[in-house]
Amino acid sequence: MSADQNRITLHIDMDSFYSSVETREKPEIRGKPVIVGSDPKKGTGRGVVSTCSYEARKYGIHSAMPISKAYKLCPDAVYLPVDMELYKSTSSRIMEILREFSSRFQQVSVDEAYMELDKDITDYDKAIDVAKNIKENILRREGLTCSVGIAPNKVIAKIASDFNKPDGLTVVSPEEAKQFLDPLPISKIPGIGKKTALLLREMGLGTVGQLAAYDVQLLIARFGKFGLTMHRMANGIDEREVEETEGVKSISKEDTFDEDIADPDTIKKVFYVLSEKVHASLLKKRYRFRTVTIRVRYGNFSTYTRSRTLSCASTDLYVMRREALHLMKEFTGTGRFRLLGVGVSNLEKIDERQTLITDY
């Protein structure tokens, strides 16, 4: 499946994001078919559907459909313009929630992201607990649902997240990957659009399993490098790393202990060391922080995060340590810890002319 057989990757995909945010903001339209996009102008509009609610999809409406056709299919739907600032601000808060759960994070669009779980979580049952915690946090803090795919790599996780929408949770272990992928239509492979799917069907390839078993050299001859990529993905092979692609979003450090710890003095020392590491990285990259986050994992693998946002950005190590220890007070004395972590986010780039606070 991948170079690291112990890797567990999550793909988080928000459910009908634009229309779900609109429904959250306008409770009176809940349960109605909602279409976000261009003005239909009573069926004469020239734009397209950006996204639509699941109620609208029952009428056969989907994203990228001409808005005029959507209006003919469902003239009584609620039609709303795109409010990108609202969606971006909501997305930013959701991505901050996701970053609390792993230091290996990659946002790929306004409504989806990958994360790779910490190396001490090699049990898919524990990964399910993490996913459920993520879903609960997003629902409680933002009032929105998401679907999560859990798998050994990015391509399988992405396919899995779309398998049981909305509000789904689909798990595909390495042993189950072939059984999961083979019956799926070839269109489920990322990157295979209508034109490529038509060409593949003309070659007698309608399912992922058929594509996986096909002669890879013939695929390369027909599709070039993408032929090899399709063949590898159909076989569940994807060695791409989960990594940030647009600048630094957060900086975090954590420590997994050989033996669970509970002693308050030991815990305090751990937070001192972790904070110093985060602070050193912060200064090297020349950022200020506004939000401090801690992550704690008990011996039974239950994991919690707590965050606090400052009134103004800082580079002060003392402030970082103080906030981390304050957040930890909630957990001190409640059990033994397998992992502790400290992170900062809401980062601001420091101008080269500005002085950094480096005193401890």
Distance of alpha carbon 309 from alpha carbon 290, whole angstroms: 5
List b or e across 325-359, with b for residues whose CB sees 16 or more CB atoms inside 10 angstroms: bebbeebeeeeebbbbbbbbbbbeebeeeeeeeee
Distance of alpha carbon 65 from alpha carbon 303, whole angstroms: 42
Distance of alpha carbon 326 from alpha carbon 188, whole angstroms: 47
Q: How big is the chain, counted in residues?
A: 360
Question: Which one of 55, 96, 112, 323 is the catalytic residue?
Answer: 112
Closest of 114, 187, 181, 107 to residue 149, by C-alpha: 114
Q: Helix 225-234 to helix 216-223 angle, to the nearest 10 degrees?
A: 140
Do the bridges between strand 34-37 and strand 112-116 make them parallel or antiparallel, or are there none, so unpaired?
unpaired
Active site residue 116: no
Q: What's the one-letter identity of residue 73?
A: L
Q: How many CB atoms lie within 10 A of CB 268?
A: 15
Residue with tokens 């929630």: 97
Distance of alpha carbon 358 from alpha carbon 360, whole angstroms: 6
Task: Extract the runs of DSSP E, i.e. beta strands, from the chain.
Answer: 9-14, 34-37, 49-52, 78-80, 104-109, 112-116, 146-151, 169-171, 250-261, 287-298, 303-314, 337-345, 348-349
- Segment 128-134 long-range contacts (CB within 8 Å, at least 24 positions apart): 128/169, 128/171, 129/301, 129/302, 129/303, 130/10, 130/101, 130/303, 131/10, 131/169, 132/169, 133/101, 133/303, 134/10, 134/12, 134/97, 134/98, 134/101
- Annotated catalytic residues are 112
